[in-house]
């Protein structure tokens, strides 16, 4: 059963966390079936110029923001079942405001009109002055594979 947090002043947004069930075929091929683990409260912001990516078109060079900075009070590498997952086996999606409105959605491709899928390239615990983890700082990157079936 999925766990759901409520947004608050410091974590005003909500996001869904998915982990895979990995099955390996007889020839070594793997298949991931993504399962919703929980809905967390999160704070998201554009990453700014440090994370910009240059895109060259025929006539112009564009700078595009390539990442989103976020923070949460949850250790995303640990599922609610107490299983541990690597950062490559975590998908964050359905990021929405406190009223339930989607913030990031796809305007084309296989997920047109659906929530954007994000991968987790960076995940850092922030330890306070008294030696306790205060929150986790995340960098979210849009997944290149938006065709994943959730």
Domain with residue 105: its CATH number is 2.40.10
Q: For 82, which DSSP code? A: S
Return the pLDDT at 145: 86
Q: What is the pLDDT of residues 40-79, one digit of tens each?
A: 999 998 876 555 555 555 565 544 556 789 999 999 999 9
Domain span at residue 28 reads 3-142
The answer as to whether 150 is a domain residue is no
* pLDDT at residue number 52: 52
Q: What predicted TM-score, i.e. pTM, was given to this entire model?
A: 0.82
In a domain, 8, yes or no: yes
* 147 assigned to some structural domain: no
* Closest to 8 (Cα-Cα) out of 72, 68, 70, 79: 72
**For 37, how many CA atoms within 13 A lie in the half-sphere containing its CB?**
25
Task: Look at residue 58 in the predicted model and tell me its pLDDT.
Answer: 59
pLDDT at 84: 93
Which residues are bridge partners to 21 per DSSP? 33
**What total of structural domains would you count in the chain?**
1
Low-confidence stretches of the chain (pLDDT < 50) are 1, 62-63
């Amino acid at each position: 059963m999925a766990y759901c947090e409520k947004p608050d002043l410091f974590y005003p947004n909500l996001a869904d966390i998915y982990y895979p069930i990995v099955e390996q075929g007889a020839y070594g091929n793997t298949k991931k079936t993504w399962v919703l683990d929980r809905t967390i409260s999160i704070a998201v912001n554009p990453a700014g110029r440090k994370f910009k990516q240059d895109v060259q078109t025929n006539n112009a060079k564009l700078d595009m923001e390539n990442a989103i900075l976020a923070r949460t009070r949850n250790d995303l590498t640990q599922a609610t079942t107490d299983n541990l997952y690597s950062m490559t086996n975590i998908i964050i999606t359905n990021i929405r405001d406190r009223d339930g409105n989607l913030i990031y959605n796809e305007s084309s491709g296989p997920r047109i009109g659906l929530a954007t899928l994000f991968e987790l390239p960076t995940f850092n615990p922030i330890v306070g002055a008294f030696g306790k983890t205060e929150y986790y700082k995340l960098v979210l990157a849009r997944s290149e594979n938006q065709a994943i079936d959730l």
